[in-house]
Amino acid sequence: MRNRRVILAAHVTGEPREDNFAIETVDRAPPGEGEVLVRNAFVSVDPGMRGRLSGETSYAPPVPLGAVVGSASVGRVIASRHAGFAVGEAVAGASGWQELGLSDGRGLRRIPEGPIPLSAHIGVLGVPGLTAYFGLLDIGATKPGETVLVSTAAGAVGSAAGQIARIHGARAVGIAGGEAKRRWLLDDLGFDAAIDRLAEPDIAAAVARECPDGVDVFFDNVGNSLVDRMLPLMRLHGRIVISGQTADYNLTADERTGLKNTRAFITHRLKMQGLVVFDYAADFPRARADLTGWILDGRLKYREDIVEGLEALPGAFVDLFHGRNFGRKLGRL
Ligand SMILES: NC(=O)c1ccc[n+]([C@@H]2O[C@H](COP(=O)([O-])OP(=O)(O)OC[C@H]3O[C@@H](n4cnc5c(N)ncnc54)[C@H](OP(=O)(O)O)[C@@H]3O)[C@@H](O)[C@H]2O)c1
């Protein structure tokens, strides 16, 4: 069987470029004993993958040159010699940017047939939705009546975080790039306020305007420069959730902005904590049950930004770092 896939052709330094990637076709042997072969329908395009493409070790091992680019994936079993998976079943896993994923079953989960489309199982019901859920509710410890500020609020993680804040009785304020995203947050997702970061000459002044009493929980996906600007706007006992640092991923340590406004940690008794969503794996079923309930009762909406085919994936990845995605970026294979 032929398998087309996107591999890492050159390690990424600075901004990713399309020529960091290459497409190749290889033979895929049929599954051996205990293995399952999946035809991927959708794969994800994640800013967090950037860290693994530079060749340096972070919390996840780097992608070696010539290896398939990692991602979440969802599709259907087309051949199985695994007792737990039958041909035709829908499954989600992490096979990366390739048409055919071979698995020994570890990390593969069966997707219930139902009203929620396959693609959502690697979006709002996958890592992005779970990151929003645990970041906001566990690390952020968001309480009713609090003000929650979310950056990249029209993205996969941010859009879920703002809505989960509202479901928990908090006031949600989003920052996103562009008027169309700002309107979507207000009109479709029910954010209480939204800021177009591209139209505001002073982001701190804009946040101060929309959060006149300050910010209790800042859920950040952008990085150091934004965190530093937000520190003086935090309320007493505020929490800063470091979910991601998209604006910093392409910068060297020397190029990144340092934090200067750290006195606010003392004066406002702030806490700042990062998360790796996989630490919560044992609680994923509970979180997915909550998220599914909220989707079905209309309180949690999501948007997908889908490119067609393997060829479009490298460009889609480059686009993430220029705000050229609106919701969860996915490739349909
Ligand atoms: N901690 C964890 O376990 C975990 C798990 C999953 C994801 N994450 C992190 O969560 C964050 C969001 O991921 P996602 O998949 O939902 O991506 P996303 O927010 O849907 O896409 C990236 C967005 O980042 C914004 N952006 C890009 N370059 C920027 C810049 N220079 N300055 C400011 N904003 C910029 C753009 O939004 P606007 O133009 O609209 O602002 C862009 O649309 C990422 O940092 C990711 O690494 C963390």
Each residue's pLDDT tens digit, 140-187: 999 999 999 999 999 999 999 999 999 999 999 999 999 999 999 999
Please determine whether the domains at 2-123+303-332 and 127-278 fall in the same fold group of CATH.
Answer: no
Check if 158 has its Cβ closer than 6 Å to any atom of ligand 1: yes
CA of 79 to the centre of ligand 1 (A): 36
Do residues 69 and 94 touch, judged by C-beta distance below 8 A?
Answer: no
CA 137 remoteness from chain centre? 16
Check if 40 has its Cβ closer than 6 Å to any atom of ligand 1: no
β 271-274/234-242 pair status: parallel
Closest by Cα among 214, 293, 241, 231 to 265: 231
List the chain residues with pLDDT less than 70. none
CA of 301 to the centre of ligand 1 (A): 18
Domain boundaries, the chain: 2-123+303-332, 127-278
The CATH architecture one would assign to domain 2-123+303-332 is Alpha-Beta Complex (3.90)
How far is Cα 156 from Cα 325, in angstroms, rounded to an integer? 9
According to DSSP, residue 87 is labeled T
Check if 131 has its Cβ closer than 6 Å to any atom of ligand 1: yes
The contacts of residue 223 (CB under 8 Å, 6+ apart) are 244, 245, 246, 247, 248, 249, 256, 257
The contacts of residue 202 (CB under 8 Å, 6+ apart) are none
Instruction: Give the CA dihedral 68, 69, 74, 76, nearest 10 degrees.
Output: -10
Check if 181 has its Cβ closer than 6 Å to any atom of ligand 1: yes
Check if 157 has its Cβ closer than 6 Å to any atom of ligand 1: yes
Ligand 1 atom, smallest distance to 246 CA = 45
pLDDT value for 12: 95
pLDDT value for 271: 98
Identity of the residue numbered 150: V
233-260 pLDDT tens trace: 999 999 999 999 999 999 998 999 999 9
According to DSSP, residue 183 is labeled H
How far is Cα 101 from Cα 70, in angstroms, rounded to an integer? 11
Q: In a mutational test of the pocket of ligand 1, which residue from 221, 319, 321 has the highest number of ligand atoms less than 8 Å from its CB?
A: 221
Fold topology of 127-278: Rossmann fold (3.40.50)
Ligand 1 atom, smallest distance to 46 CA = 15
The contacts of residue 72 (CB under 8 Å, 6+ apart) are 43, 44, 46, 92, 93, 94, 122, 126, 127
pLDDT value for 284: 97
Ligand 1 atom, smallest distance to 175 CA = 41
pLDDT value for 126: 98
H helix count then E strand count, the chain: 8, 15
Check if 63 has its Cβ closer than 6 Å to any atom of ligand 1: no
